[in-house]
C-alpha cells in the first residue's frame, strides 16, 4: 500500500500553525527541520499523534519532526504543499 505523503504533509503543516507560520523546511537523514515564525502556534501533542511522525523536538530555533527513512518523500510533499525549500542539512 502506498503511503499518503500529501495527506500527512498537510497535517504536519496544520499542526505547525499553517503555511504562514513556516519560514522554511530542511531535512537531514531522518528529520524534517522547520524554521517557524511563532513556535507557540505549533501543536506538539497533536503532531505526536500524526500518522507517519515518530517524534518531535523543538530545540535550537528549529522545530524537528522525526520521520525516519521516508524523510525525503515527506520533504517533497511538504515543499509541494507550499513550504519554502531550505535544502538538506
Q: Global pTM?
A: 0.93
For residue 59, pLDDT beyond 90? no
In the predicted model, what is the mean pLDDT of residues 36-58?
A: 95
Q: In the prediction, which pLDDT does 1 show? A: 40
Residue of 41, 40, 4, 45 lying closest to 19 (CA atoms):
41
Asked if 52 and 67 count as a contact pair (C-beta separation under 8 A), the reply is yes
pLDDT tier, 2 (very low <50, low <70, confident <90, very high otherwise): low
**Is 62 among the catalytic positions?**
no
Q: How many CB atoms within 10 Å of residue 55?
A: 13
pLDDT in the model for residue 88: 73
Q: Which of 19, 28, 54, 72 does the annotation list as catalytic?
A: 28
Amino acid at each position: 500500500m502506498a503511503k499518503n505523503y500529501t495527506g500527512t504533509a498537510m497535517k504536519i503543516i496544520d499542526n505547525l500553525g499553517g503555511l504562514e507560520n513556516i519560514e522554511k523546511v530542511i531535512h537531514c537523514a531522518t528529520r524534517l527541520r522547520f524554521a517557524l515564525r511563532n513556535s507557540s502556534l505549533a501543536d506538539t501533542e497533536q503532531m505526536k499523534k500524526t500518522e507517519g511522525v515518530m517524534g518531535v523536538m523543538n530545540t535550537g530555533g528549529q522545530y524537528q519532526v522525526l520521520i525516519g527513512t521516508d524523510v525525503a518523500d515527506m520533504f517533497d510533499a511538504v515543499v509541494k504543499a507550499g513550504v519554502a525549500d531550505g535544502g538538506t542539512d
